[in-house]
């Protein structure tokens, strides 16, 4: 279980396209299974926000957290699933927008799109299974669902 203890930017750098939240050792820490881990800048060291799309650009980057000799690797995508992370991120980024940014709403749209894609993949597998088992009735029902889903 992940919980944010502290998330403060070391500094924020901005240009026309991106807002970059640069992180450092003592400014980012997590509780992982009730143990405190400190951020260490081994791999990724910044969160990049795309101004045009108003969402996190580097979702596949990995942050490293350390407690003693133990290291834990956490992706930005995993952090975006935490409401408190989104709250911290919003408070950091909002002064750099005139109208602010709604990352949680954007993240919700992304999750819905991923769920829809997974449902499509599952339906494709079921259609393939109906073909393999020569189940014409199931094939007809599933292909009708496929047509309805893709309209």
The three-state DSSP-derived secondary structure of the chain is: CEEEEEECCCEEEECCCEEEEECCHHHEEEEECCEEEEEECCCCCEEEEECCCCEECCCCCEEEEEECCEEEEEEHHHHCCCHHHHHHHHHHHHHHCCCCCCHHHHHHHHHHHHHHHHHHHHHHHHHHHHHHCCCHHHHHHHHHHHHHHCC
Condensed to tens digits (0 to 9), the pLDDT of residues 6-48 reads 999 999 998 888 999 999 888 899 998 889 999 998 889 999 9
pTM value surpassing 0.75: no
Q: Domain residue spans in the chain? A: 2-101, 106-149
């Amino acid at each position: 279980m992940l919980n944010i203890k502290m998330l403060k930017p070391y500094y924020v750098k901005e240009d026309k396209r991106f807002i970059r939240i640069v992180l450092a050792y003592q400014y980012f820490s997590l509780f992982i299974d009730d143990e405190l881990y400190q951020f260490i800048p081994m791999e990724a060291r910044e969160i990049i926000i795309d101004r045009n799309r108003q969402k996190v650009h580097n979702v596949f980057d990995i942050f490293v957290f350390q407690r003693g000799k133990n290291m834990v690797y956490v992706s930005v995508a995993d952090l975006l699933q935490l409401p408190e992370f989104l709250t911290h991120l919003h408070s950091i980024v909002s002064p750099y927008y005139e109208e602010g940014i709604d990352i949680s709403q954007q993240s919700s749209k992304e999750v819905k799109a991923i769920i829809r894609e997974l449902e499509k993949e599952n339906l494709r597998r079921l259609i393939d299974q109906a073909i393999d088992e020569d189940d014409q009735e199931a094939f007809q029902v599933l292909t009708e669902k496929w047509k309805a889903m893709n309209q």
